[in-house]
């Protein structure tokens, strides 16, 4: 650390005009400077270690060829090759995991979100990708003898981009699509190989013309016009199932399932009907070790066919492996009489399109975050010199003035959310919202609509984290249906 500090001090001296051979390293004259730079360097090294460590572990930092050479990876690959007729199969272990592309029947095998590993059925790595990052939670699928990855998230953001793997170059190429949702991930999207269609539940929820927040269901038919279409919204009757009770999801050839605490939601891809079954639940997954894959099993395999789910645990020590299969097709047919539409019609507001974020804002925010961290560190050093005024124990507890019938405003909420919470009027119109958001006259009406929707969406998302309900509801004026009214719906402690 001292060597690093001396190097930094050396270049500080250059900026101060002292030259390389100045008295920078003199222990007396520069003692305070070196101490300060040592503290700053320690803080930056610590911040970098947390930053990198949270994103990657040592297995993910390995070169693809070294990771593929691990014995446990080869064992997992052999297990996938045994299930060549599966719609989807994955094997997890302590050092990572590998999985087939949905619908490929073992023709393409990938590793988590690693763009550098794309294996053929023999285990040969076809990828020569220069991308060193990871695209987590992507939907890997197989269509027309080609491999695609839809959506996912990088280190910074979620997205819905569609990329195609080109074997001749070993690279991933962006496939242009129109009207894509804001985010696609493998947890809430499925591949319908029979219809060559990718179906995704969009995140975050959008606002309908009725003033409700709803999850949009969109579909992309491959090889047609490469345009996402709105199928409708998730049946409102399922809102609770998608919020707190869903444990895991699995993509089968003809079905897609979400496993909950007590039962499982089954969606038929053919007719888009859903039903529930008690033949599978979260307790059963826990019993076989699904949520403790790397802790209780040396290798854990998940395999889906057109109508069945199979889970298999290979223990660390010698002993019999655990295997469990559930017939999803049979479970769906047994309750088909009670099936309901998974998707229902909906009209979303035109101004709910998300505003595209400039990449410059991202890097600017990162730099600002680092500067704030450094300022906070040295600011703490400065203010630590002053004594802290302790409250008088005889003065009694402090009192906070809260208006009757209203919940106190959490201090950690954003300035924008607090601005809405502090409004005296329970409602406001579009012109008042424009004033609150400080719109200038040079903004177009389309831009204003998009930014209004973005502001309302951000406030509602933050408020729901605290109170499990949106704060702002958009509706129509009862006296003039052409006029939009925004209603403040505060949480009540008495509710």
| Percent of the chain residues topping a pLDDT of 90 | 38
> Higher pLDDT residue, 349 or 250?
250
Instruction: Report the C-alpha gap between 159 and 115 in whole angstroms.
Output: 16
Q: Which residue do the tokens 């070993």 mark? A: 170
The reported pLDDT for the residue numbered 56 is 54
Instruction: Report the C-alpha gap between 70 and 225 in whole angstroms.
Output: 43
**174 pairs with which residues across the strands?**
163
Query: pTM of the prediction?
Result: 0.62
Instruction: Report the C-alpha gap between 166 and 173 in whole angstroms.
Output: 7
Average pLDDT, the chain: 79
Phi, psi of 404 (to 5 degrees): -55, 140
Nearest residue to 117 (alpha-carbon basis) of 158, 59, 180: 59
The reported pLDDT for the residue numbered 411 is 62
Classified as helix, coil or strand, 119 is strand
Q: Which residue do the tokens 């730079």 mark? A: 37
189's tokens: 């999207």
Q: Are 56 and 62 in contact (CB under 8 A)?
A: no
Instruction: Give domain 349-353+406-495's CATH number out of 1.10.1660, 1.10.10, 1.20.1530, 3.30.110.
Output: 1.10.10
Mean pLDDT of the region 45-73: 73
Instruction: Report the C-alpha gap between 181 and 161 in whole angstroms.
Output: 9
* Residue 448, burial from CB neighbour count under 10 angstroms (0-12, 13-18, 19+): middle
Domain 64-346 and domain 349-353+406-495 have a common topology? no
Angle ∠(162,167,168) on CA atoms, nearest 5: 120
Query: For residue range 230-240, what is the model confidence (pLDDT) as tens digits?
Result: 999 999 888 77
The reported pLDDT for the residue numbered 396 is 44
The reply to whether omega before 85 is within 30° of 0 (cis) is: no
Query: In which element (H, E) is residue 50 found?
Result: helix 31-55
The half-sphere exposure of 235 on its side-chain side, counting CA atoms within 13 A, is 14
Report DSSP state, residue 59: T
SS3 content of the chain, % helix, strand, coil (to 5): 30, 30, 40
pLDDT at 328 over 80: yes
57's tokens: 């572990």
How far is residue 298 from each of residues 160, 194, 242, 459, measured CA to CA in Å? Answer: 33, 35, 31, 45
Query: For residue range 95-137, what is the model confidence (pLDDT) as tens digits?
Result: 999 999 999 999 999 998 888 999 999 999 999 987 766 788 8
How far is residue 211 from each of residues 232, 346, 472, measured CA to CA in Å? Answer: 16, 12, 9
For helices 2-16 and 31-55, angle between their N-to-C axes, nearest 10 degrees: 120
Classified as helix, coil or strand, 111 is strand
Sheet containing strand 114-119, strands side by side? 114-119, 109-111, 96-100, 88-93, 299-304, 308-314, 322-327
**Helix and strand numbers, DSSP H then E, in the chain:** 12, 26
The reply to whether omega before 204 is within 30° of 0 (cis) is: yes
How far is residue 453 from each of residues 232, 413, 438, 477, measured CA to CA in Å? Answer: 20, 19, 15, 18
* Residue 491, burial from CB neighbour count under 10 angstroms (0-12, 13-18, 19+): middle
Instruction: Report the C-alpha gap between 266 and 264 in whole angstroms.
Output: 6
**Domain map of the chain by residue range?**
2-55, 64-346, 349-353+406-495
**348 pairs with which residues across the strands?**
208
pLDDT band at 265 (very low <50, low <70, confident <90, very high): very high
List, in sequence order, every beta strand (DSSP E) within 154-254.
158-166, 171-175, 189-192, 197-201, 206-207, 213-214, 216-221, 228-234, 246-251
Angle ∠(159,161,164) on CA atoms, nearest 5: 145
Instruction: Report the C-alpha gap between 206 and 215 in whole angstroms.
Output: 6
pLDDT at 40 over 70: no
Tell me, rounded to whole angstroms, the distance of Cα 293 from its chain centroid.
Answer: 21
Q: Which residue do the tokens 């199928």 mark? A: 231
Query: For residue range 180-221, what is the model confidence (pLDDT) as tens digits?
Result: 998 999 999 999 999 999 999 988 888 888 888 889 999 999
The reported pLDDT for the residue numbered 254 is 96
The reported pLDDT for the residue numbered 403 is 45
Nearest residue to 322 (alpha-carbon basis) of 295, 299, 349, 347: 299
Report DSSP state, residue 136: B
CATH number of this structure's domain 64-346:
2.120.10
Angle ∠(53,57,63) on CA atoms, nearest 5: 125
41's tokens: 């360097």
pLDDT at 313 over 60: yes
* Residue 141, burial from CB neighbour count under 10 angstroms (0-12, 13-18, 19+): buried
Q: Are 323 and 312 in contact (CB under 8 A)?
A: yes
The reported pLDDT for the residue numbered 246 is 59
Instruction: Report the C-alpha gap between 282 and 21 in whole angstroms.
Output: 68
């Amino acid at each position: 650390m001292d060597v690093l500090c001396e190097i930094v001090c050396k270049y500080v001296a250059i900026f101060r005009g002292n030259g390389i051979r100045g008295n920078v390293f003199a222990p007396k004259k520069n003692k305070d400077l070196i101490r300060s730079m040592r503290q700053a360097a320690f803080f930056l090294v610590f911040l970098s270690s947390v930053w990198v460590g949270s994103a990657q572990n040592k297995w993910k930092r390995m070169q693809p060829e070294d990771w593929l050479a691990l014995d446990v990876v080869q064992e997992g690959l052999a297990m996938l090759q045994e299930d060549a007729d599966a719609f989807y199969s994955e094997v997890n272990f302590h050092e990572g995991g590998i999985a087939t592309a949905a619908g490929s029947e073992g023709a393409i095998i990938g590793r988590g979100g690693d763009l550098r590993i794309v294996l053929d059925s023999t285990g040969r790595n076809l990828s020569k990708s220069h991308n060193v990052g990871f695209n987590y939670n992507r939907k890997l699928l197989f269509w027309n003898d080609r491999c695609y990855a839809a959506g996912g998230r990088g280190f910074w953001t979620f997205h819905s981009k569609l990329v195609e793997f080109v074997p001749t170059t070993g690279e991933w190429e962006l496939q242009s699509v129109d009207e894509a949702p804001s985010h696609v991930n493998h947890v809430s999207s499925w591949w319908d190989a029979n219809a060559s269609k990718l179906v995704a539940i969009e995140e975050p929820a959008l606002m309908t013309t009725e003033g409700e927040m709803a999850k949009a269901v969109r579909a992309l038919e491959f090889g047609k016009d490469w345009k996402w279409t709105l199928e409708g919204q998730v049946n409102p009757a399922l809102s609770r199932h998608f919020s707190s009770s869903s444990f895991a999801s699995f993509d089968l050839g003809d079905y897609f399932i979400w496993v909950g605490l007590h039962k499982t939601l089954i969606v038929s891809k053919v007719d888009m009907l859903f039903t529930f079954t008690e033949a599978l639940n979260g307790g059963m997954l826990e019993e076989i070790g699904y949520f403790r894959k790397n802790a209780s099993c040396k290798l854990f395999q998940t395999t889906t066919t057109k109508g069945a789910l199979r889970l298999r645990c290979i223990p660390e020590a010698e002993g019999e492996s655990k295997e469990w299969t559930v017939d999803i097709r049979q479970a769906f047919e047994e309750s088909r009489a009670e099936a309901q539409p998974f998707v229902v019609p909906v009209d979303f507001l035109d101004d709910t399109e998300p505003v595209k974020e400039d990449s410059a804002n991202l890097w600017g925010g990162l730099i600002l975050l680092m500067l704030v961290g450094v300022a906070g560190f040295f600011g703490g050093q400065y203010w630590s010199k002053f004594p802290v005024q302790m409250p008088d124990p005889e003065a009694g507890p402090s009192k906070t003035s809260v208006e009757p019938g209203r919940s106190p405003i959490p201090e950690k909420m954003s300035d924008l959310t607090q601005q809405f919470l502090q409004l005296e009027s329970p409602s406001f119109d579009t012109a008042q919202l424009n004033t609150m958001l400080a719109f200038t006259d040079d903004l177009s009406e389309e831009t204003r609509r998009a930014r209004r929707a973005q502001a309302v969406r951000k406030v509602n998302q933050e408020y729901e984290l605290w109170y499990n309900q949106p704060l702002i509801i958009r509706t129509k004026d009862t006296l003039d249906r052409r006029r939009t009214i925004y209603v403040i719906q505060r949480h009540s402690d008495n509710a």
